[in-house]
């Protein structure tokens, strides 16, 4: 049995995915413009304004993250953009089942940090997760060791700056997974990982009907 099937983890995932689906259904019905209205806001302002909004990877993408971490057995996993912790649960479950490694996850919203920490404790995965609170471009400087896996799922214009910060610690063969790469703000990141001279092999694939992920390997 994998940790994903542990009753505590499975219940948390079901609860959070159900809440997310209900929330987005209501937002569609109400014609919500909450995201559009924040187009000129700072990262912190966006995080605070959307502190109640789930922004999860799909269940299928979550299982992909779990499988990739199980296969590569990274010593250090970094997640940029924790939100309520759905993807972190998949990453931490893989680390637990590998018997080695640690997840470092970043978040700006104090409300989401509090909720995610409670979930991590309830699922028994808090001992393999370090939550870095605040500006990721500052907090990630505290991460030491060889980074073997990176999930980018925060504000899209920061994908490349975050990668540049982490690059000196990436192991050969490290995997990078960038979500929502159909969004225009991810283009500088995509240009970087798709340029062979920068030391990556990269592939894009659909993660949902209208959006994609980019999977890149550090060569």
Tens-digit pLDDT profile for residues 103-117: 999 999 999 999 999
**Is there a domain that residue 46 lies in?**
no
**Is there a domain that residue 122 lies in?**
yes
Cα 187-107-155 angle, rounded to 5 deg? 15
Task: Count up the domains in the chain and report the number.
Answer: 1
| pLDDT tens sequence across 60-77 | 999 999 999 999 999 999
Closest CA to 120 of 157, 158, 79: 79
- Compute the average pLDDT of residues 181-208: 94
The pLDDT of residue 31 is 63
The pLDDT of residue 86 is 96
Contacts of 139 (CB under 8 A, 6+ apart): 106, 132, 133
DSSP SS3 for 56:
coil
Beta strand ranges found along the chain (DSSP E): 76-80, 102-107, 129-133, 147-152, 170-178, 200-208, 211-218
**Count of CB atoms within 10 A of residue 6's CB?**
17
The pLDDT of residue 34 is 62
**Is there a domain that residue 166 lies in?**
yes
Q: Which domain holds residue 205?
A: 3-14+51-218
**Is there a domain that residue 113 lies in?**
yes
How would you list the strands of the sheet with 147-152, edge to edge? 129-133, 102-107, 76-80, 147-152, 170-178, 211-218, 200-208
CATH, residue 117:
3.40.50.150
What mean pLDDT is reported for the chain? 93
**Is there a domain that residue 26 lies in?**
no
The pLDDT of residue 3 is 98
**Is there a domain that residue 124 lies in?**
yes
**Is there a domain that residue 25 lies in?**
no
CA distance 180 to 13: 21
The pLDDT of residue 32 is 63
**Is there a domain that residue 36 lies in?**
no
């Amino acid at each position: 049995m994998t940790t994903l099937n542990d009753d505590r983890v499975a219940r948390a995932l079901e609860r959070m995915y159900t809440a997310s689906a209900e929330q987005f259904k209501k937002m569609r019905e109400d014609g919500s413009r909450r995201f559009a209205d924040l187009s000129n806001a700072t990262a912190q302002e966006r995080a605070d304004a959307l502190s109640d909004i789930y922004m999860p990877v799909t269940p299928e993408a979550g299982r992909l993250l779990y499988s990739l971490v199980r296969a590569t057995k990274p010593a250090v996993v970094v997640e940029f953009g924790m939100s309520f912790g759905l993807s972190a649960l998949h990453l931490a479950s893989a680390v637990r089942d590998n018997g080695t490694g640690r997840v470092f996850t970043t978040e700006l919203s104090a409300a989401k940090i509090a909720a995610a920490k409670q979930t991590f404790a309830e699922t028994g995965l808090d001992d393999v997760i370090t939550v870095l609170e605040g500006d990721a471009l500052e907090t990630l400087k505290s991460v030491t060791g060889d980074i073997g896996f990176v999930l980018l799922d925060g504000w899209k214009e920061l994908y490349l700056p975050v990668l540049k910060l982490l690059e000196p610690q990436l192991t050969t063969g490290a995997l990078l997974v960038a979500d929502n790469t159909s969004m225009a703000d991810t283009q500088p990141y995509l240009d970087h990982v798709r340029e062979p001279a920068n030391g990556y092999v990269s592939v894009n694939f659909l993660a949902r009907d209208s959006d994609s992920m980019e999977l890149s390997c550090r060569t």
